[in-house]
């Protein structure tokens, strides 16, 4: 079955940037499980970033051939061969680009309405590289296409328990809608709220009831629970926001995390340099970063 995007009437696709490492190979396998369940095709893109004209020169000027180009082409062919053997029902296309990874992904996603960009990460040890000064960070923060970060430790696509960091913002409803092509509707949604301002629990309970009614009505989900996480005191100091989220993810056995990126939401707090390293656990589970909402 090939799925089509009803809003664009175009075939549904996932884009996977690959460098032929074990991390990108794991991202491919994870994405293929999603595509098998939902009918997407897959585009694999390798970006030649060591020299802005390496690939073009190799195609146009025999005297300027770079040996790394045919090597990458051979690796891409091997990748598509094993992919087609392990996931025979998935349509796959190989793409090659020159330049900056983020810019090339931005260009491709501007041309094609991908359901998501799927990027492999190293998990805990790679968290700093993922966020600070990296092309992956730029992609997550600025792309108009959702980005799914898949750590190496996540090899099986599992969506029994899907967590959503919840601050009762409109962007959260959009994030759930954006995740639908990957998750459908058959999962248990756990709304996770960190009570930073020590609001009364009964007040938050009432807000959750209203919010769940909106999710049921507007998104169509029905299996929903919520958790209110206080910031626990350690040595007379409150635990950090990432530590509080980490505790909730562990306690609730979250398999897949959804994060929104609106300017005033929790995502902005998570990317502060002094707390990024402490959020290592959240990169041990696949994390879906919804696209930025642009108000007109």
Band the pLDDT of 260: cuts 50, 70, 90.
confident
* Residue 296 domain-assigned (yes or no): no
Number of neighbours of residue 250 by Cβ within 10 angstroms? 11
Higher-confidence position of 275 and 50: 50
Q: Which domain does 240 fall in, by range?
A: 161-289
- Asked whether residue 235 carries a pLDDT value surpassing 90, the answer given is no
How high is the mean pLDDT of the chain? 80
> Is there a single domain that holds both residue 70 and residue 168?
no
Per-residue pLDDT tens digits for 208-224: 999 999 999 999 999 99
Closest Cα partner for 14 from 6, 74, 5?
5
Residue 244: per-residue pLDDT? 80
- Asked whether residue 4 carries a pLDDT value surpassing 50, the answer given is no
- Phi/psi at 15 (5° precision): -110, 130
SS3 94: strand
Residue 149: per-residue pLDDT? 87
For the packed helices 68-86 and 22-38, what is the interaxial angle rounded to 10 degrees? 40
Residue 125: per-residue pLDDT? 44
- Asked whether residue 181 carries a pLDDT value surpassing 80, the answer given is yes
Rounded mean pLDDT, 144-160 = 91
- Asked whether residue 237 carries a pLDDT value surpassing 60, the answer given is yes
Domain boundary residue, one of 151, 169, 204? 151
* Residue 295 domain-assigned (yes or no): no
Which two structure tokens, joined as six digits, stand for 228?
């209110």
Band the pLDDT of 21: cuts 50, 70, 90.
confident
Q: d(Cα 261, Cα 265) in Å, to the nearest integer?
A: 7
SS3 296: coil
* Residue 240 domain-assigned (yes or no): yes
> Is there a single domain that holds both residue 62 and residue 131?
yes
> Is there a single domain that holds both residue 30 and residue 79?
yes
Quote the DSSP letter at residue 279.
G
Structural domain total, the chain: 2
> Is there a single domain that holds both residue 131 and residue 47?
yes
Q: d(Cα 285, Cα 257) in Å, to the nearest integer?
A: 7
Give yes or no for a contact between 86 and 32, defined as CB atoms under 8 angstroms apart: yes
Higher-confidence position of 278 and 18: 18
* Residue 232 domain-assigned (yes or no): yes
Band the pLDDT of 163: cuts 50, 70, 90.
very high
- Asked whether residue 77 carries a pLDDT value surpassing 80, the answer given is yes
């Amino acid at each position: 079955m090939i799925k089509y995007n009803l809003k664009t009437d175009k075939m549904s696709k996932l884009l996977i940037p690959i460098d032929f490492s074990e991390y990108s190979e794991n991202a491919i396998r994870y994405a293929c499980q999603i595509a098998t369940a939902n009918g997407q095709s897959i585009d694999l893109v390798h970006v030649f970033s060591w020299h802005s004209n390496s690939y073009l020169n190799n195609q146009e000027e025999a005297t300027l051939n770079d040996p790394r180009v045919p090597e990458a082409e051979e690796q891409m062919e091997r990748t598509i061969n094993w992919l087609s053997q392990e996931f025979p029902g998935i349509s796959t296309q190989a793409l090659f680009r020159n330049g900056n990874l983020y810019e090339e992904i931005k260009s491709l996603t501007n041309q094609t309405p991908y359901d998501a960009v799927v990027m492999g990460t190293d998990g805990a040890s790679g968290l700093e590289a993922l966020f600070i000064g990296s092309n992956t960070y730029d992609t997550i923060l600025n792309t108009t296409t959702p980005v799914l970060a898949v750590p190496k430790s996540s090899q099986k696509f599992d969506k029994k328990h899907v967590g959503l960091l919840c601050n009762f913002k409109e962007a959260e409803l959009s994030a759930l809608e954006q995740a639908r092509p990957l998750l459908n509707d058959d999962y248990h949604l756990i709304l996770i709220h960190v009570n930073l301002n020590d609001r009364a629990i009964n007040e938050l309970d009432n807000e959750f009831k209203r919010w769940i009614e909106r999710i049921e009505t507007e998104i169509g989900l029905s299996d929903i629970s919520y958790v209110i996480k206080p910031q626990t005191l350690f040595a007379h100091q409150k635990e950090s926001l990432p530590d509080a989220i980490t505790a909730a993810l562990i306690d609730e056995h979250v398999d897949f995390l959804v994060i929104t990126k609106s300017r005033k939401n929790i995502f902005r707090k998570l990317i502060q340099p002094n707390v990024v390293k402490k959020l290592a656990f959240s990169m041990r589970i696949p994390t879906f970063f919804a696209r930025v909402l642009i108000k007109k």
